[in-house]
């Protein structure tokens, strides 16, 4: 792996003298590295903002260092790694694929097929010729019609306010900050469109940053079809946690869902699908959303400016991942309780079952059952969740394992 990265860096920065016998080997590992990251597919990619750190070996995949010339197995959705700014201190990060390798290959084939091109074609050329991208090229501002028909729940009901935020916060261009795309090159536009069409997860991390209090990991950058973010351990690793920790995590999870329903910016976030890998825990005990790819957003302030004729706006960008089959519910059909029901049904029972003495356990189970019943009206589900939070609050302990609220919790019951 080290040699592979050296090979990458030597090909990108100043030429390093290599013994002739090394050159073919280095070139081939360089090429397989580029292919591994999906850099050869740019600008049908997320971006290149963090490639330099890979080339400088300031991002290192963890467990594969032992066998230098081997790339990590390519079937995993994400990889643990270490990240450094000075090559001395390292912190854990996560390197995540935009979609699985299989889905990548499938969507690349779909792109070629859409142009009746042979199995291998210039993906970028095909995408550039589409009517949608031609409209993007003309556009100064990202308007709802430009993203209509894209399958991501983020863009299901887009308001102008949300789309302006995407442009303003898009971290893959040099000067973020304006709602106009004047500073976007054609390349930047294609990358943004491709990312939004395939998986809006990296865009969500950029526009709702953890540093501003959103429950999302920090976006560090991208290279090819991979993104790098701060690292969390998935929730399922905590299913066997002791009662006080389980109570703490369940309490935080309910708090995160609350902040997704009610926040200063008046956006309503909901999950279309939930599994335990979608939440993660930082080393300080703080719980975050680890995978935002199924997170939908509704603007409670501006509403949606989209007519419901998404069908007419379907094109190749609508079909890259789902194959055009996915039918999403209409904007006004998302009930407030949606994410709660999913979490109370699928995650919290695994975390909280059989851990607490009687009658606390029975109270927890009863609240969970009510919260998980999707047929109940919103207020009943929200009420059950709030009751569950009240039961859990005193079951959490105050000690250094919960560094995100310790030692504050010793002096203030609010923590």
Ligand X SMILES: *[C@@H]1O[C@H](CO)[C@@H](O)[C@H](O)[C@H]1NC(C)=O
Contact 5, 53 (CB under 8 A): no
Q: What mask, x for binding ligand X by CB under 6 A, covers residues 83 to 102? A: -------x-x---x------
CB 147 to ligand X: min, Å: 20
| d(C-alpha 76, C-alpha 324), whole Å | 25
In this structure, what token pair is assigned to residue 96?
A: 């995540």
Among 219, 203, 226, smallest CA distance to 38 is for 226
By beta-carbon proximity to ligand X, the closer residue of 198 and 344 is 198
CB 290 to ligand X: min, Å: 8
In this structure, what token pair is assigned to residue 309?
A: 């004729």
Phi and psi for 317 in degrees, rounded to 5?
A: -65, -20
By beta-carbon proximity to ligand X, the closer residue of 66 and 413 is 66
Contact 371, 364 (CB under 8 A): no
Phi and psi for 168 in degrees, rounded to 5?
A: -65, -35
Q: Is 152 in the site for ligand X (CB under 6 A)?
A: no
Q: Tell whether omega for the bond before 274 is within 30 degrees of 0, i.e. cis.
A: no
Q: Is residue 153 packed enough to be buried (19+ CB in 10 Å), middle (13-18) or exposed (0-12)? A: buried
Contact 214, 255 (CB under 8 A): no
Residue with tokens 């302006």: 164
Using CB under 6 A, count the residues that bind ligand X.
15
CB 219 to ligand X: min, Å: 14
In this structure, what token pair is assigned to residue 356?
A: 């607490």
By beta-carbon proximity to ligand X, the closer residue of 8 and 247 is 8
Nearest residue to ligand X, using CB? 62
Q: Is 294 in the site for ligand X (CB under 6 A)?
A: yes
Q: Is 291 in the site for ligand X (CB under 6 A)?
A: yes
Q: Is residue 246 packed enough to be buried (19+ CB in 10 Å), middle (13-18) or exposed (0-12)? A: buried
Which range, of 44-52, 165-173, 237-245, 286-294, touches ligand X by CB under 6 A? 286-294
DSSP tag of 273: S
By beta-carbon proximity to ligand X, the closer residue of 39 and 278 is 278
The number of angstroms, rounded, from the C-alpha of 321 to the middle of its chain's C-alpha atoms is 15
Choice from 49, 245, 252, 293 touching ligand X (CB under 6 A): 293
Contact 54, 11 (CB under 8 A): no
Contact 352, 364 (CB under 8 A): yes
Q: What mask, x for binding ligand X by CB under 6 A, covers residues 45 to 84? A: -----------------x--------------xx-xxx--
By beta-carbon proximity to ligand X, the closer residue of 342 and 384 is 342
By beta-carbon proximity to ligand X, the closer residue of 199 and 304 is 199
Which range, of 2-10, 19-27, 114-122, 290-298, touches ligand X by CB under 6 A? 290-298
CB 58 to ligand X: min, Å: 12
Residue with tokens 């069409």: 197
Q: Is 222 in the site for ligand X (CB under 6 A)?
A: no
Which range, of 37-45, 288-296, 311-319, 335-343, touches ligand X by CB under 6 A? 288-296
CB 151 to ligand X: min, Å: 12
| d(C-alpha 29, C-alpha 35), whole Å | 10
Give one DSSP letter per residue of 34-91, joined into a string.
HHHHTGGGTTSSSB-TTHHHHHTT-EEESTTTTSTTPPPPTT-SEEEEEE-SSSSS-E
By beta-carbon proximity to ligand X, the closer residue of 204 and 364 is 204
By beta-carbon proximity to ligand X, the closer residue of 72 and 144 is 72
| Residues 262-281 within binding reach of ligand X (CB under 6 A) | 273, 275, 277
Binding site for ligand X (CB under 6 A): 62, 77-78, 80-82, 90, 92, 96, 273, 275, 277, 291, 293-294
């Amino acid at each position: 792996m080290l040699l592979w990265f050296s090979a990458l860096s030597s090909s990108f920065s100043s030429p390093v003298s290599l013994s002739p016998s090394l050159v073919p080997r280095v070139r081939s590992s360089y090429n397989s590295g580029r292919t591994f990251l999906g850099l050869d597919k740019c600008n049908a990619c997320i971006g290149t903002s963090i490639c330099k750190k890979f080339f400088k070996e300031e991002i290192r995949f963890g467990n594969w260092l032992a066998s230098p010339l081997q790339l990590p197995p390519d079937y995993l959705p994400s990889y643990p790694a270490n990240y450094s700014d000075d090559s001395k201190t390292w912190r854990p990060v996560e390197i995540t694929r935009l979609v699985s390798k299989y889905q990548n290959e499938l969507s690349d084939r779909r792109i070629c097929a859409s142009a009746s091109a042979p199995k291998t074609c210039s993906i970028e050329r095909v995408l550039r010729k589409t009517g949608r991208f031609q409209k993007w090229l003309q556009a100064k501002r990202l308007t709802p019609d430009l993203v209509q028909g894209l399958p991501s729940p983020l863009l299901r009901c887009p308001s102008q306010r949300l789309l302006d935020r995407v442009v303003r916060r898009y971290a893959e261009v040099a000067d973020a900050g304006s709602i106009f795309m004047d500073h976007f090159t054609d390349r930047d536009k294609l990358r943004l469109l491709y990312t939004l069409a395939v998986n809006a997860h990296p865009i969500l991390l950029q526009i709702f940053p953890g540093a501003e209090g959103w429950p999302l990991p920090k976006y560090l950058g991208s290279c090819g079809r991979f993104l790098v973010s701060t690292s969390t351990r998935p929730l399922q690793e905590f299913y066997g946690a002791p009662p006080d920790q389980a109570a703490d995590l369940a309490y935080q999870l309910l708090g995160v869902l609350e902040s997704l329903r009610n926040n200063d910016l008046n956006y309503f976030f909901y999950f279309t699908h939930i599994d335990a890998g979608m939440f993660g825990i930082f080393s300080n005990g703080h719980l975050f959303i680890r995978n935002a790819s199924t997170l939908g957003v509704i603007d409670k302030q501006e509403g949606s400016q989209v007519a419901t004729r998404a069908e007419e706006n379907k094109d190749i960008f609508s079909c890259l991942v789902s194959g055009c089959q996915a039918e999403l519910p209409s904007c006004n059909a998302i009930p407030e309780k949606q994410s709660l029901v999913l979490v109370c049904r699928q995650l919290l029972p695994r975390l909280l079952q059989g851990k607490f003495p009687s009658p606390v356990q029975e109270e927890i189970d009863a609240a969970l059952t009510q919260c998980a019943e999707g047929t109940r009206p919103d207020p009943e589900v929200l009420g059950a969740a709030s009751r569950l939070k009240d039961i859990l609050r005193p079951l959490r302990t105050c000690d250094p394992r919960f560094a995100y609220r310790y030692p504050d919790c010793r002096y203030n019951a609010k923590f």
